[in-house]
Structure formats: structure tokens, C-alpha cells
């Protein structure tokens, strides 16, 4: 498979992303782009695995000598159950998106979504907020809330289905839950608004963001983890009010960095070229 003419440096370090149906993933662009940029002999593949084949598939890739995997929908909870050890962030998120196959045969599971989100804020020049208002209560919301809480931020949580926000808050031991329809009233005291819901995603429900932002302080930073479209209706409404915004592409890039470092041995940088290549794919 890895013949001398194709791989003059020998067999590459192997990693992959798995999910199902995994119709489209940008992870290979990131990891193979970084390998090319740094001259690393690495290869990052896209390997769909049906849920019923997930565990066997992971064990097979480990036996084949892969360095590790990224795991996406719907395998993040199955990955959590499969690994031998969890990072602190994985335990907080209750999910695993990064597997590292260790030399001793064990598997470490991490969740890099929350730290990826905080790093995307930092990259955008946003200092860590003291108070954040987070919309949504799915898996992404949990990772983001955990990272914000662990960084010392006070988090207010609003979700259409309030019971899910309450369960999230209970699981994390933090966060103040409010009714969904009340969130615009809590903007005045927030320094950061984070949308983790699918509202604003191409093809999803529409929402009156402009009307909801009228009580925002001028210093509010508005971020959306949705990145298709890159300028979401929320970000467009925030910009129209002159508010600072952070788009979801940064989180996508930054959540990939810890895995790349663990597998390929180098902390990768976020270059403008990489952002541009990803934007071409949106």
C-alpha cells in the first residue's frame, strides 16, 4: 500500500475521522493541509463507520497502527464508553471527539470542542468574558459551557426545551438556567453571547435575531458555532448593530489542533491560507 515511489519517506503516520454517515467532513483538509505545510509524513483519512461497526472498526484501526482518530456524530458517546482513560475535558463534556492510541495499547479519549471554542475567542482577540449567555443544550453546548465555567466565567443558559438546559447545568454543576423566551432580557448583563443551537444553519428554522438583540450592551461580543453559512443570521444582525462578532470557523480549526499535535508531533498554527481553503468548501 505504502510503496516507495508513493511514500519515499516510508510509511506515513496514520490518523482518520470516523462518523456516520460522514457525508462531508472538513477534517482531512485541516490535517492533510498541516502535514503538507510542515513537511510531516502523515496521512489523514475519512473512514465512515456504521454505529454497529464502530467499536470493531476502532480496534481494527488501532491494530493497523493508526496513531488515533477523530470521532464525530453519532459516535461521540460510544467513543466515551470505549476508551480506557478520559481527559478532564472529555469527562466534563460527557463525550469524546479525539482518540489517541497509546504505545501501551490503551486508548485515551479527549474532547477538544470546548477548548477549541475558547481558543477561537482568543484568536479573535476576545478576552475571556466574566459573564456569558449560552443558547442551546446539546452536545456542543455542554462542551462550550464546561470550558467557560472551568475558565471561571459565569454562564447563563437558555434552551427551547428548558429541561435539557437544567440537565446540562446539573451535569456540569454550574450555569444559571432561564426560560428560552427571556434570553434577550439577559443580554444587558452579558459580555458574550454564544449560539450553539442549529438556528441560523442553512436549511434550519428562521429566528428574529435583530429584534432579540435590541437590549445588548454595545460591548457585547456575539459568537456562533454554526459556520454554514459563515455569516449566520445572528452574526449579521449583531454586525448591523455594530457589535463585535466571532464566527464558527475558528472553533472548527482550533478543536482539531490537540489531535494533530498528539498524532503528528507538532502544534499546528492557524494560517490565513487554511481559513481561506476552508471557506472555499462552505
Cis peptide before 74 (omega within 30 of 0): yes
- In the residue annotation, 76 being an active-site residue is answered as yes
Could you say whether residue 198 binds ligand ATR (CB under 6 A)? Answer: yes
Specify the residue, 16 or 140, whose C-beta has the smaller distance to ligand ATR: 140
> Buried b / exposed e across 36-69, counting CB within 10 Å, b at 16+?
eeeebebbbbeeebeeeebeebbeebbeeebbbb
Could you say whether residue 98 binds ligand ATR (CB under 6 A)? Answer: no
Specify the residue, 43 or 96, whose C-beta has the smaller distance to ligand ATR: 96
Question: Which residues are annotated as part of the binding site?
Answer: 25-27, 72, 97, 113, 136-140, 159-164, 225, 227, 248, 255
Could you say whether residue 234 binds ligand ATR (CB under 6 A)? Answer: no
Query: Cβ 97 to ligand ATR, closest distance in Å?
Result: 12
Specify the residue, 92 or 101, whose C-beta has the smaller distance to ligand ATR: 92
Could you say whether residue 197 binds ligand ATR (CB under 6 A)? Answer: yes
Which one of residues 18, 27, 62, 196 is an interface residue with ligand ATR (CB under 6 A)?
196
Q: Write the CA distances from 32 to 13, 17, 38, 238, 255, integer angstroms.
A: 11, 12, 10, 34, 15
Q: Minimal CB distance to ligand ATR: which residue?
A: 138
Q: Are strands 192-195 and 221-224 parallel, antiparallel or unpaired?
A: parallel
Map the footprint of ligand ATR across residues 137-156, applying CB under 6 A.
137-141
Rg (CA), the chain: 19
Which one of residues 27, 87, 112, 159 is an interface residue with ligand ATR (CB under 6 A)?
159
Which one of residues 46, 154, 164, 275 is an interface residue with ligand ATR (CB under 6 A)?
164
Specify the residue, 168 or 262, whose C-beta has the smaller distance to ligand ATR: 168
Could you say whether residue 116 binds ligand ATR (CB under 6 A)? Answer: no
Residue 253 neighbours by CB distance under 10 Å: 23
Specify the residue, 32 or 198, whose C-beta has the smaller distance to ligand ATR: 198
Could you say whether residue 65 binds ligand ATR (CB under 6 A)? Answer: no
Which one of residues 109, 129, 136, 258 is an interface residue with ligand ATR (CB under 6 A)?
136
Could you say whether residue 184 binds ligand ATR (CB under 6 A)? Answer: no
Is residue 110 within 8 A of residue 96, CB to CB? The reply is yes
Could you say whether residue 199 binds ligand ATR (CB under 6 A)? Answer: yes
Stretch that binds ligand ATR, among 6-14, 145-153, 198-206, 214-222 (CB under 6 A): 198-206
Could you say whether residue 177 binds ligand ATR (CB under 6 A)? Answer: no
Q: Catalytic positions, please?
A: 76
User: What does the binding site for ligand ATR look like in residue numbers (CB under 6 A)?
Assistant: 136-141, 159-161, 164, 196-199, 205
Amino acid at each position: 500500500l505504502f510503496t516507495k515511489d508513493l511514500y519515499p519517506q516510508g510509511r506515513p503516520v496514520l490518523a482518520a475521522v470516523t462518523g456516520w454517515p460522514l457525508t462531508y467532513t472538513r477534517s482531512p483538509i485541516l490535517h492533510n493541509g498541516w502535514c503538507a505545510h510542515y513537511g510531516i509524513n502523515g496521512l489523514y483519512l475519512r473512514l465512515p463507520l456504521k454505529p454497529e461497526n464502530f467499536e470493531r472498526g476502532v480496534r481494527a484501526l488501532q491494530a493497523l497502527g493508526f496513531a488515533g482518530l477523530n470521532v464525530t456524530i453519532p459516535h461521540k458517546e460510544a467513543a466515551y464508553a470505549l476508551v480506557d482513560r478520559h481527559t478532564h475535558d472529555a469527562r466534563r463534556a460527557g463525550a469524546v471527539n479525539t482518540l489517541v492510541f497509546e504505545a501501551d495499547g490503551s486508548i485515551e479519549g479527549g474532547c477538544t470542542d470546548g477548548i477549541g471554542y475558547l481558543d477561537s475567542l482568543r484568536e479573535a482577540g476576545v478576552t475571556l468574558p466574566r459573564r456569558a449567555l449560552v443558547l442551546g443544550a446539546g452536545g456542543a453546548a455542554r462542551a462550550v459551557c464546561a470550558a467557560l465555567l472551568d475558565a471561571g466565567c459565569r454562564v447563563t443558559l437558555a434552551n427551547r426545551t428548558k429541561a435539557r438546559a437544567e440537565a446540562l447545568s446539573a451535569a456540569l454543576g454550574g450555569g444559571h438556567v432561564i426560560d428560552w423566551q427571556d434570553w434577550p432580557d439577559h443580554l444587558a448583563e452579558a459580555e458574550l453571547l454564544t449560539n450553539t443551537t442549529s438556528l441560523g444553519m442553512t436549511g434550519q428554522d428562521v429566528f428574529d435575531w435583530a429584534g432579540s438583540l435590541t437590549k445588548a450592551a454595545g460591548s457585547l461580543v456575539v459568537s456562533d458555532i454554526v459556520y454554514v453559512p459563515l455569516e449566520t443570521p445572528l452574526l449579521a444582525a449583531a454586525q448591523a448593530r455594530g457589535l463585535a462578532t466571532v464566527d464558527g470557523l475558528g472553533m472548527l480549526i482550533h478543536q482539531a489542533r490537540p489531535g494533530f499535535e498528539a498524532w503528528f508531533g507538532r502544534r499546528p498554527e492557524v494560517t490565513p491560507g487554511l481559513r481561506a481553503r476552508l471557506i472555499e468548501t462552505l
